[in-house]
Chain A
Amino acid sequence: MKLVSPAVSLSALTLMLMGCGASTPTPSTTEAKSAISAAEATGAAGDPQAALHLKMAEDQVRAAEALIGEGDMGEAQLVLERAKVDAQLAQVLTRRDQMRGRAQQAEQEIERLQQSARP
């Protein structure tokens, strides 16, 4: 067969897309956005490594919104999940650095107390 009719090739492409991305309803950006808000509330913007992931999350939410606008719901859903996990990671990294800071501070306070106790 030399020629494939455009109709056949279009339907094949559609099937492939459906097989790869699956046909899903319009995904919600709510979860990803609330994860971003939570990370921001924790202070992720002030933590360099966390800020990087926060930015990735924000970029991907925008990309997902664009995909939704284009009707690419499956890919949008995946991109939103990536956005959500980046936002979550941003929050966890922020918390980690905060906890490390507190532990360090406590050690310093102990040292100060010990020094103040010496004559």
Chain B
Amino acid sequence: MEITTADVPVILQGSVGTLERWLDVRSLLRPGAGADLVGNPSLATASDLVASADPIIHAFSLVAAKATPGLELSVGAALHMDLAAICASGWIRSAGSVQRDVAFGLVARVREILSSQANVSGVVTRYESFTLHPSAEPQTVQLSDIAVAYVGAAALDQWSTEYAERDYQLKLERIKTGFRLRVSELAKLLGVTREAVRQWNAGAGISPDRWGEIDRLHDLVTQLQRYFRPEALPGQVRRKLRAFDGMTGLELIATGREAELLLRYRRIFEGDITQ
């Protein structure tokens, strides 16, 4: 979703009606989303609500970053963690509007975070945040304690999954740059198609069943960069190694023999041996 500076005053200063139109125009509202959580609290219904709130959280995080650069990740984390508290507060007005009400609660939290950030940092921002409060009228519905607890668990799960995905994108980047790998080389090392690597490069999510392999290669890059200068490592892993019958480091890694290679280096760099 594209967020521009024009969106910032809407989110930080707009009324509830303005916000609702903004959410509608961006198709972020799903009528009925979260309704099941009221009558049938479970992890599944809570996860459904969290999934419907997730694009809203990311949109608001981007807005926050437009107002105060560098805040996207921390605002994203805070909003995920605050979902349960929002559900337990006066923001939820009716069973049919749970997701929309959560969205308003999220906006209120974004405004609080940015105000607090401005106060703490002393930085004068272009956009003053206007405080938003829930309606004083009595609520017609209140989420049960167990429903709120499920939302907390589902939100934590959602955030940790997203964070892990982001983490694996970073690890993949470290592997690529550490070994200076072409798409075909990375695909071979990870046992996937070149198309899969291209999709990851374009930002597609990395399936958890690849995380183990990525961890293995990431640990290897980290270890080898302890020994070799970063600019020398790409050349080093492509050298034919006399000690391994002329195989290169990349070939050893591709055939699962990296432990032998590491042991050899460890003996030389950290061991106490003679020839």
The reply to whether chain A is a binding partner of chain B is: no
B-side residues, CB < 8 A to A, are none
A-side residues, CB < 8 A to B, are none
